[in-house]
Amino acid sequence: MRSHDSIQHVRGESKFVDDLVAPEGTLFGYVFYSSIAHGKILKLNFSEALKVDGVIDIFSAKDIPGENQIGGIIPDEELFASKEVHYVGQPIALVIAKDRVTAHKAAKKIKAEYEKLKPVFDPREAFEKGNLIVPPRIFSLGDIDSAWDRCDYVVEGKVESGSQEHLYLETQGALAIPVEEGVKIISSTQGPTAVQKTAARVLDIPMNKIEVDVPRLGGGFGGKEDQATAWAVMAALAAVKLNRPVKIILPRQEDMRMTGKRHPYSSDFKIGLNKEGKILAYEVFYFQNAGAAADLSTAILERTLFHSTNSYFIPNVKATAYCCRTNLPPFTAFRGFGGPQAMFVIESAIHKAAQVMGVNPSFIQKKNLLKEGDEFPYGQKTENCRAIKCYEEAENKFDFDSQFKRVKKFNEENKIYKKGIAVMPICFGISFTTTFLNQASALVHVYTDGSVRVSTAAVEMGQGVNAKLVRIASNIFSIDSERIKIDTTNTSRIANTSPTAASKGTDLNGYATIDACNLILERLKKVAKDVLSADDQSLIELKDEVVYLNNSKTDLDWTKLINHAYVKRISLSAQVHHATPNIYFDREKMKGNAFAYHVYGTALLEATVDCLRGTYVIDSVKVVHDFGKSIHPVTDRGQAEGGIVQGLGWMTLEEIIYNEEGKLISDALSTYKVPDIHFVPKELIIHFLEDVPNPYGPLQSKAIGEPPFMYGIGGYFAIINAMKAYKPDKEIFYNAPITNEKVLMWLHSNN
Ligand code: MTE
Ligand code: HPA
Ligand code: MOS
């Protein structure tokens, strides 16, 4: 079944921030930003800009009543740069005008003078200079130092992975409306409370005077977990100052320039194996390019450490992570949250080791898969581990052996076209690694006509959380899903929301919804007993909107029951809080059961490279994925497919380029290439493995939002394996994205 949202989207009926009917007199904001990567602000001159007809005002750091600070984890980021600028695109001022064209026109007349300082763009250079945002973090297991001696092979290498633009269809934006004693902000954010809290801090008013409402997002992908806040707070500031509604919608190019993206990483690895292909030791150093402010970088880097060994058990591990401050826009959350960067490194290490050993990488991958009870470097042990199960199921279902043989034969018979094949196992931890964020709540109202309205902390961003919440509520009440409406996400109805992120939207809010619905259901059952004059021992059930007494149908139905409850003055509303049990993480020891559970899977990917032109196609991606019991299979399949294609894009086409002055030059869709429908593999097979019980997922489901992204990493290896078939003796590189240019250069240059 399709979700309600998708029908509305196709009809163009869904309303995003910019589609909402704005109140009369709404003004528009345009953000004026730094044109240099690092420097002191010497002079700001607004006088010409203020003369433009239709300009109302211009706000900057000096106009902020509270703190000029938006840093969530570490307070190191100003809303408006006051004295120094740290990246091209950093907001300096907000121009308010009667319409957006005027605001833009006026912003061009602002004159800023800077004293330029030397910028740093490379994370290793930042590290050398001691520009770390936090001290290094280390995860370790076993004893790495004594392990190398026991290895028959020790292989070292360097791995680079690039940034990635979120390219949500709806750009960043917000509408702020002044209300009595405060402000209402309609924001395109994954984190309504982050917006509320930061607005309170900047405006110097308590949180209870700020209402944040989120109808839906035209995509977030992590890009609106933290970085939707600035624009919402700017709009609120102007709205409060001017006592007029203010809207800010970033034009696409400005959005691409000003906002942070996936963190680029530069990493060094050392891997040791015995003759049988068992990995005995793995050492890795991650240099994370954090950009100019912390944003979520430290949490993201932590997840990199959590996923340093992907789906493998390695007895001796040392993983060191450096959070390096540079003069680029603060990089931020993006699907996988640092996990993909780690997985690309371990897969590169395995690939390189396989070259040295003269074996297929899949031989090493399979040998080292996690087993039941194996320990991760952070001390947690696997439970209901599906690593081997997924691998073997994929191996049998997709017949790895004959695929490898077919590709080998193809390569023997073809000179110009070469095929490559790669296996990509994944293991992804489910929970916010920041334990306290693993909480949510739900508020459920049943109205006297039998219709139901559900509010939770979950933000709908296209991932289908609303469709899943509908299914959960209709399942608990056993009523038609048409009766259920999921409300916007609103801080006045649901307080202290964690962002909808970490793939936890359905888990956390789904459980809260289950508990809230059950609370009402229990009350209703009591009412039914009363109405049916049944004794205390009798069994009351609701099935398909009908009340059953001791397994037989009665003529009491859902609507009648609701009305009886109402007349009897029984509450038809419930509010319940849910917190994931049994998780903890000790940041001193770097050990703990950080995750409620893990999601596993294995993909087989095939690519064909045109070795004359350097172009390629990803022919197929075939996956066995651990879904738990899917609540909404169409949505889950969509999440898997979308994630895979987005992962492939990161690894192949999508190249973020900053010039030597730190200016983004891939700042439009003409210069930044993303997967389109023609790029999508012809064969995209997702096999649902639904055999594992999962007490931590509502209705035994498992989180789906992020894990499939990482199958895309296999695309890199499928392509380089095809390249290797063309030049078997040339050393390959691990530097993503593997663009057509890079392929061509490797195939046809002599070094
Ligand atoms: N799918 C769509 N269509 N749009 C999105 O913005 N975000 C992804 C994923 N799938 C996203 C998406 C990311 S980064 C996360 S963390 C999860 O959805 C968040 O939603 P969930 O927790 O409900 O899975
Ligand atoms: N994922 C996404 N967002 C987060 C996390 C996480 O693990 N931790 C803190 N914010
Ligand atoms: Mo997703 S990167 O946790 O918003």
CA atoms of 488 and 485, how far apart (whole Å): 10
For residue 270, pLDDT over 80 is answered with: yes
Ligand nearest to the CA of 646: 1
* CB half-sphere exposure, 685, CA atoms < 13 A: 16
Q: CB of 194 closer than 6 A to ligand 2?
A: no
CA atoms of 595 and 337, how far apart (whole Å): 14
- Partners of residue 157 on adjacent β-strands: 269
Amino acid at 160: E
Atom of ligand 1 nearest to the CA of 337: 14
Residue 641's SS3 state is helix
Q: CB of 190 closer than 6 A to ligand 1?
A: no
Q: What's the mean pLDDT when you consider all of the chain?
A: 97
- Identify which of 165, 158, 492, 128 has the alpha carbon closest to the alpha carbon of residue 326: 128
For residue 559, pLDDT over 70 is answered with: yes
At 308, list the tokens. Answer: 């340093």
Atom 4, ligand 3: which residue's CA is nearest? Answer: 222
Find the mean pLDDT for residues 293-321.
98
At 519, list the tokens. Answer: 């609370």
Degrees to nearest 5, angle at CA 342 with 338 and 346: 170
Asked if residues 423 and 551 have their Cβ atoms less than 8 Å apart, the reply is no
- The predicted structure's pLDDT at residue 692: 86
Ligand nearest to the CA of 340: 3
Find the mean pLDDT for residues 313-339.
98
Asked if residues 253 and 196 have their Cβ atoms less than 8 Å apart, the reply is no
- Partners of residue 115 on adjacent β-strands: 40
Q: CB of 335 closer than 6 A to ligand 2?
A: no
Quick: pLDDT tens for 22-46: 999 999 999 999 999 999 999 999 9
**Does a cis peptide bond (omega within 30 degrees of 0) precede residue 425?**
no
At 469, list the tokens. Answer: 């919440």
Q: CB of 228 closer than 6 A to ligand 3?
A: no
Q: CB of 303 closer than 6 A to ligand 2?
A: yes
Strand order from edge to edge, sheet including 452-456: 484-486, 452-456, 439-446, 573-579
pTM of the model: 0.98
Q: CB of 501 closer than 6 A to ligand 3?
A: yes
CA atoms of 262 and 647, how far apart (whole Å): 12
- The predicted structure's pLDDT at residue 2: 58
Degrees to nearest 5, angle at CA 212 with 209 and 214: 165
CA atoms of 492 and 235, how far apart (whole Å): 19
Degrees to nearest 5, angle at CA 672 with 670 and 675: 105
Q: Which one of 74, 227, 433 would you pick to mutate in the ligand 2 pocket, going by the greatest count of ligand atoms within 8 A of its CB?
A: 433
Q: CB of 337 closer than 6 A to ligand 2?
A: yes
CA atoms of 467 and 486, how far apart (whole Å): 9
> Rounded to the nearest whole angstrom, what is the distance from the C-alpha of residue 499 to the centroid of ligand 3?
9
> Rounded to the nearest whole angstrom, what is the distance from the C-alpha of residue 220 to the centroid of ligand 3?
8
Cα 314 to the chain's mean position, in Å? Answer: 27
Atom of ligand 2 nearest to the CA of 433: 7
- Residue whose pair of structure tokens reads 């038809």 in the numeric block: 572
Quick: pLDDT tens for 520-545: 999 999 999 999 999 999 999 999 99
- The predicted structure's pLDDT at residue 1: 53
Atom 1, ligand 1: which residue's CA is nearest? Answer: 463
Ligand nearest to the CA of 166: 1
End-to-end CA distance of the chain: 54
Find the mean pLDDT for residues 574-580.
98
- Residue whose pair of structure tokens reads 């609120």 in the numeric block: 236
- The predicted structure's pLDDT at residue 623: 98
> Rounded to the nearest whole angstrom, what is the distance from the C-alpha of residue 704 to the centroid of ligand 2?
15
**Phi-psi category of residue 590: left, alpha or beta, with phi > 0 → left and psi -120 to 50 → alpha:** left
For residue 612, pLDDT over 70 is answered with: yes
- Identify which of 640, 635, 632 has the alpha carbon closest to the alpha carbon of residue 472: 632
- The predicted structure's pLDDT at residue 5: 80
- The predicted structure's pLDDT at residue 693: 86
Degrees to nearest 5, angle at CA 223 with 218 and 225: 95
CA atoms of 266 and 348, how far apart (whole Å): 13
Q: How many residues does the chain have?
A: 751
Atom 6, ligand 2: which residue's CA is nearest? Answer: 432
Residue 488's SS3 state is coil
* DSSP calls for 272-303: EE-TT--EEEEEEEEEEEEESS-TTHHHHHHH
Atom 9, ligand 1: which residue's CA is nearest? Answer: 705
Asked if residues 106 and 99 have their Cβ atoms less than 8 Å apart, the reply is no
Asked if residues 99 and 53 have their Cβ atoms less than 8 Å apart, the reply is no
- Identify which of 161, 202, 190, 221 has the alpha carbon closest to the alpha carbon of residue 77: 202
- Identify which of 30, 58, 23, 31 has the alpha carbon closest to the alpha carbon of residue 242: 58
At 31, list the tokens. Answer: 């953000």
Q: CB of 338 closer than 6 A to ligand 3?
A: no
597-610 vs 417-430, strand pairing mode? antiparallel
Quick: pLDDT tens for 178-228: 999 999 999 999 999 999 999 999 999 999 999 999 999 999 999 999 999
Ligand nearest to the CA of 262: 3
- Identify which of 742, 747, 626 has the alpha carbon closest to the alpha carbon of residue 691: 626
Residue 444's SS3 state is strand
* CB half-sphere exposure, 642, CA atoms < 13 A: 17
- Identify which of 674, 668, 448, 465 has the alpha carbon closest to the alpha carbon of residue 565: 448
For the CA atoms of 727, 728, 730, 731, the dihedral, rounded to the nearest 10 degrees, stands at 130
C-alpha dist (Å) from residue 454 to 260, 472, 558, 571:
33, 11, 17, 15
Asked if residues 718 and 618 have their Cβ atoms less than 8 Å apart, the reply is yes
CA atoms of 313 and 281, how far apart (whole Å): 10
Q: CB of 263 closer than 6 A to ligand 3?
A: no
> Rounded to the nearest whole angstrom, what is the distance from the C-alpha of residue 304 to the centroid of ligand 2?
11
Cα 388 to the chain's mean position, in Å? Answer: 26
Degrees to nearest 5, angle at CA 220 with 219 and 222: 155
Strands (E), 98-181: 111-116, 137-141, 153-161, 173-179
Asked if residues 352 and 146 have their Cβ atoms less than 8 Å apart, the reply is no
Find the mean pLDDT for residues 265-281.
98
Degrees to nearest 5, angle at CA 642 with 653 and 291: 55
Quick: pLDDT tens for 487-533: 999 999 999 999 999 999 999 999 999 999 999 999 999 999 999 99
- Residue whose pair of structure tokens reads 């004693």 in the numeric block: 181
Which residues have C-beta within 8 Å of that of residue 74, sequence separation ≥ 6?
133, 134, 293, 294, 298
Asked if residues 369 and 425 have their Cβ atoms less than 8 Å apart, the reply is yes
> Rounded to the nearest whole angstrom, what is the distance from the C-alpha of residue 223 to the centroid of ligand 3?
8
CA atoms of 250 and 536, how far apart (whole Å): 61
CA atoms of 188 and 362, how far apart (whole Å): 42
Atom 2, ligand 2: which residue's CA is nearest? Answer: 502
Asked if residues 515 and 576 have their Cβ atoms less than 8 Å apart, the reply is yes
Atom of ligand 3 nearest to the CA of 224: 4
- Identify which of 384, 382, 461, 371 has the alpha carbon closest to the alpha carbon of residue 700: 384
Ligand nearest to the CA of 594: 2
Helix (H) or strand (E) holding 93: strand 91-97
Active-site pick, 383, 706, 731, 741: 706
Longest CA pairwise span in the chain (Å): 89
Concerning whether 706 is annotated as a catalytic residue, the answer is yes
Q: CB of 333 closer than 6 A to ligand 2?
A: yes
- The predicted structure's pLDDT at residue 3: 62
Find the mean pLDDT for residues 274-299.
98
Q: CB of 337 closer than 6 A to ligand 3?
A: yes
CA atoms of 215 and 674, how far apart (whole Å): 27
C-alpha dist (Å) from residue 13 to 4, 168, 728:
11, 18, 54
Quick: pLDDT tens for 86-126: 999 999 999 999 999 999 999 999 999 999 999 999 999 99
- Residue whose pair of structure tokens reads 């939002």 in the numeric block: 705
CB neighbour class for 231 (10 Å; exposed up to 12, middle 13-18, buried from 19): buried
- Identify which of 381, 368, 229, 225 has the alpha carbon closest to the alpha carbon of residue 309: 368
Quick: pLDDT tens for 423-465: 999 999 999 999 999 999 999 999 999 999 999 999 999 999 9
- Identify which of 334, 448, 429, 333 has the alpha carbon closest to the alpha carbon of residue 377: 429
